[in-house]
Amino acid sequence: MDDQDRPERPRVGVVGLGAMGLGMARSLRAAGYHVGVHDLRPEVAAGFAREGGTAFASVGELAAGVDVLVGVVVNAAQVDAVLFGPDGAADRLRPGAVFVMCSTVDPGWSAALEERLAEKGVLYLDAPMSGGVARAAAGELTMMTSGAAAAYAVADPVLEAMSSTVYRLGDRAGPGSKVKIVNQLLAGVHIAAAAEAMALGIKAGVPADALYEVITHSAGNSWMFENRMAHVLAGDYTPLSAVDIFVKDLGLVLDSARPERFPLPLAATAHQMFLQASGAGLGAEDDSAVIKIFPGVELPGPKPTEG
């Protein structure tokens, strides 16, 4: 397609087709976008191509043809590889294209990334998200964004297609990631607290389903209690988000505060609980499996399949 007659709708690519990225690519398709994708696992990208997208063998090839490149990878190291690795996107994106960074990263690192890309004429949005796999697939994420007006001017319709709410938190990178850090602190502590509280109640002899019913209608409720303790009730630890994600994210929360000498007693304690779970071999299970660190608790088993 010739730049001269570029349509109003930006050309969009998605890098990273994990549970979140795949849902986001699909919700962009559902919104009418033609979506190019790349993933380190070629078979995953090929699967999306069979749904009607276009798979690219390298990030660079994908980047060369888009106005907006959405990065949905696990951490800062992977973002770095996407942009600056072999055949990376930073040298292939056209001047004025936008890289939308959706990972949970250190806010200072995100701010520096904006400057590194500016040297190449590439615009940047600091755009972590919240909402989980189901909302990603429905195009109903909450996005915590900040960046320059010029970046929003290009990427806005893409953000809108993936999200029910796009918060604009500032005119440069940093605030988006700062708010995501605050959210992950709460999310991690709430999952660990839900596990601690449910374990205590079950140990005391209260049926797990009664605990769930009462707490979800009381002042002790949280979004995470309601969502994750349903997995415990079902005895289903299939990872939607894994224990090791919170080992990483709470580690990032703590690292972000340490240079400021800012104490985070609850985040530190919850981090230890996820480390204990991961060290016990539960790292790849659903994050609600942190409840298994508590001793002598008879947890609900998996529901029998009908036969």
Cα–Cα distance for residue pair 101/147, rounded to 1 Å: 11
Q: Is 208 in the site for a copy of itself (CB under 8 A)?
A: no
Q: Helix/strand/coil (H, E, C) string of 133-162?
A: HHHHHHCCEEEEEEECHHHHHHHHHHHHHH
| Euclidean distance between CA atoms 218 and 291, whole angstroms | 21
Nearer to a copy of itself, 115 or 213 (CB): 213
- Answer for which of 19, 74, 148, 197 binds a copy of itself (CB under 8 A) is 197
Kindly indicate which of the ranges 12-20, 88-96, 118-126, 189-197 contains the residues binding a copy of itself, using the contact rule CB under 8 A.
189-197
Please report how close the Cβ of residue 295 comes to a copy of itself at its closest, in angstroms.
8
Residue from 59, 242, 250, 270 in contact with a copy of itself (CB under 8 A): 270
**CA separation for the pair 249, 247 (Å, rounded):** 6
Residue 243 in contact with a copy of itself, rule: CB under 8 A: no
150 binds a copy of itself (CB under 8 A): no
Say whether residue 160 binds a copy of itself (CB under 8 A). no
176 token code pair: 């988006």
Q: Crossing angle, helix 243-257 and helix 175-203, to 10 degrees?
A: 130
**Is there binding between residue 259 and a copy of itself (CB under 8 A)?**
no
Task: With beta carbons less than 8 A apart as the criterion, state whether 180 and 104 touch.
Answer: yes
| Residue that has been written with the tokens 């600056």 in this structure | 84
* Closest CA relative to residue 128, chosen from 100, 108, 151: 100
For the question of residue 180 being annotated catalytic, the response is yes
Of residues 109 and 294, the one with the C-beta less far from a copy of itself: 294
Q: Nearest distance from residue 296's CB to a copy of itself, in Å?
A: 8
Residue 210 CB burial class (10 angstroms; 0-12, 13-18, ≥19): exposed
Give the footprint of a copy of itself on this chain (CB under 8 A).
Answer: 107, 130-132, 142, 144, 165, 167, 169, 175, 178-179, 181-187, 189-190, 192-194, 196-201, 203-206, 210-211, 213-215, 217-225, 227, 253, 256-257, 260, 262-267, 269-270, 272-273, 294-296
Would you name the residues annotated as active-site residues?
180
